[in-house]
Structure formats: structure tokens, C-alpha cells
């Protein structure tokens, strides 16, 4: 259920939702959970709903996602996203799904955006691939994921929105390449260790330096594969204030994107106009 009071749209404002999940290794139960959470967000007034990275599968092995990859534009996961968007009349950000890559042993980790009619309006392929070696915790996404090449920002009824995924958060030059945006999307699955150390710091930093909202849905909890993700899905305003957050477990967080607040921050501290590079 939503954290806090029901949020209603007002003039110059729109309600958005960041969905937190604890995804399993099987696609079907994950889609069932996502459907339930999207519907709850829409019922609470959200017009834009964002799912976390790996919402459809967080496998027991890194290669599991390769087994369920889909061709671009075709497949049950993509059909689910289109249907959920149109059925709930929301713009839907599909976290990441595994799409076919040039390398048959890898996938593209694609963030897909659908409008409220169920039409796909954007695709961003994760550019920065996570690698970590902390002894018992080791990750190397480059073994199973082919990186994307192009930053993506799109115009929506809620303003201009930039797309990114998880590990991208550590690379501010990506966000500079997007230009001026009103909001950033960061579907994620931070580990418990790196999340505790850096997650909130990085999310708030990207909001402050780009003077925009950041919508950061995350995986949050102990997964059937034994992995623990940090959670703390959050929505942050252009001043770096955390408007809503959820520590762990399945659920949604709601907040308003306020065009007036965005203008106020940029007028009082015109840092975007002061850029030299």
C-alpha cells in the first residue's frame, strides 16, 4: 500500500509513484506483483508509475535473464507493460527487461516507457555495467549484459524526463549529457552494502546538481536467490529533499512533481544557467 496520505494532482502538479519490489527468479509471479502495485499506484492518483530494475526477473544465476530475453517489440513482458499502462491509464516505466543483443550470450538491459494508451514511447539501454568485488560479494554485469551507447530523454505531459538505470547513478556526466530535464528516472537494484553507503547520497546529489526531481524505484529486501537489495525507493525534489521513501519490502511511494517548485529552485539559484561545461 502507499506510504503516507493519498496524493492528489493539483494545478501545475502531478502525482508520480516509485514501485518497490522483491523480485523472484520466475517471471510470472513478478508480473503478478507488478500488476498489483501498478494498480494500487493508479488508484492512489499516480499518473506516472516507475518499476525497479530487474522487476521481471532477478534470477538465481546471472544467465537466467538471458533465457527469458525478448526481441525488441515482441514478447510477454513487453505485452504486460503495454497492457498495464493502458488498463490503468498511466505512463509506465518498465524498470529494465532483458532484450536481444548482438551477442547471443548476453542481453540489453532496456528501460522501456509506455504512455497511457499503451504505446511504447522510449527505450534506453543501460550504459554503465555494475562490477563489484568485496570478497563474498562479487558482481560483473558485463558477463551477461551488452552496454547501451546513447543517453535518452523524452518529452512527456509531465515535462522532459531523462532515463537512467542503477549503476548509471555514479556517472554524473551521463546526466549532463541529457541537458536540462524536469525529472530523472533511476530504476535500481542496489546491493545492501553499496546501497547503505551511497544510495541516498547519490540520488540526492543528482537531484541537486541537475535541479530536477529524481524518481528512484528500487528492489528492496531478501530475494529467493539469497541476494539482499537495499531498497529505500525514493522521490527527491530539486532542492535535494526526500519527499517519500520506503525502507524495505514490496510497496509504493507517492509524491508530486510540482512545476512551481521546480521554477522556484531554478530562479533562486540559477546554477543551470551558470554552467561552463
Active site residue 166: yes
Select which of 15, 56, 111, 166 is catalytic.
166
Q: Can you tell me the distance from the alpha carbon of 33 to that of 258, in angstroms, rounded to the nearest whole number? A: 29
Q: Is 212 a catalytic residue?
A: no
Q: Which residue has the cell 532542492?
A: 239
Among residues 15, 53, 56, 146, which one is catalytic?
Answer: 53
Label each residue of the chain as H, E or C: CECCCCCCCCCCEEEEEEEEECCCCCHHHHHHHHHHHHHHHHHCCCCEEECCCCCCCCCCCCCHHHHCCECCCCCHHHHHHHHHHHHHCCEEECCCEEEECCCCCCEEEEEEEECCCCCEEEEEECCCCCEEEECCEEEEHHHCECCCCCCEEEEECCEEEEECCHHHHHCHHHHHHCCCCCEEECCECCEHHHHHHHHHHHHHHHHHHHCCEEEECEEEEECCCCCEEECCEEEECCCCCEEEEECCCCEEEEEEEEHHHHHHHHHHCCHHHHCCC
* Residue 126 φ then ψ, to 5°: -50, 125
> Does residue 47 carry a catalytic annotation?
no
From the list 126, 146, 200, 256, the catalytic residue is: 126
**What residues are labeled active site?**
53, 126, 166
Amino acid at each position: 500500500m502507499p506510504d503516507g496520505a493519498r496524493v492528489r494532482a493539483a494545478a501545475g502538479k502531478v502525482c508520480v509513484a516509485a514501485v518497490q519490489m522483491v523480485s523472484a527468479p520466475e517471471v510470472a509471479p513478478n508480473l503478478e506483483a507488478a500488476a498489483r502495485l501498478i494498480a494500487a499506484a493508479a488508484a492512489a492518483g499516480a499518473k506516472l508509475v516507475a518499476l525497479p530494475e530487474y522487476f521481471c526477473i532477478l534470477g538465481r544465476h546471472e544467465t537466467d535473464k538471458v533465457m527469458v530475453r525478448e526481441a525488441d517489440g515482441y514478447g510477454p513482458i513487453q505485452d504486460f507493460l503495454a497492457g498495464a499502462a493502458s488498463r490503468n491509464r498511466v505512463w509506465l516505466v518498465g524498470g529494465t527487461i532483458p532484450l536481444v543483443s548482438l551477442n547471443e550470450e548476453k542481453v540489453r538491459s532496456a528501460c522501456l516507457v509506455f504512455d497511457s494508451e499503451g504505446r511504447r514511447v522510449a527505450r534506453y539501454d543501460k550504459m554503465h555495467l555494475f562490477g563489484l568485488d568485496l570478497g563474498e560479494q562479487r558482481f560483473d554485469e558485463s558477463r551477461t549484459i551488452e552496454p547501451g551507447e546513447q543517453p535518452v530523454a523524452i518529452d512527456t505531459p509531465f515535462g522532459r524526463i531523462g532515463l537512467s538505470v542503477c549503476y548509471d547513478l555514479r556517472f554524473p556526466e551521463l546526466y549532463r549529457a541529457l541537458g536540462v530535464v524536469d525529472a530523472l528516472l533511476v530504476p535500481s537494484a542496489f546491493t545492501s552494502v553499496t546501497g547503505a553507503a551511497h544510495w541516498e547520497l547519490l540520488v540526492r546529489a543528482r537531484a541537486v546538481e541537475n535541479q530536477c526531481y529524481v524518481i528512484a524505484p528500487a528492489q528492496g529486501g531478501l530475494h529467493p536467490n539469497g541476494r539482499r537489495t537495499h531498497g529505500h525507493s525514493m522521490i527527491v525534489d530539486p532542492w535535494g529533499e526526500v519527499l517519500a521513501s520506503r525502507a524495505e519490502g514490496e510497496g509504493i511511494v507517492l509524491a508530486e512533481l510540482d512545476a512551481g517548485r521546480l521554477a522556484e529552485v531554478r530562479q533562486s539559484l540559477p546554477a543551470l544557467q551558470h554552467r561552463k561545461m
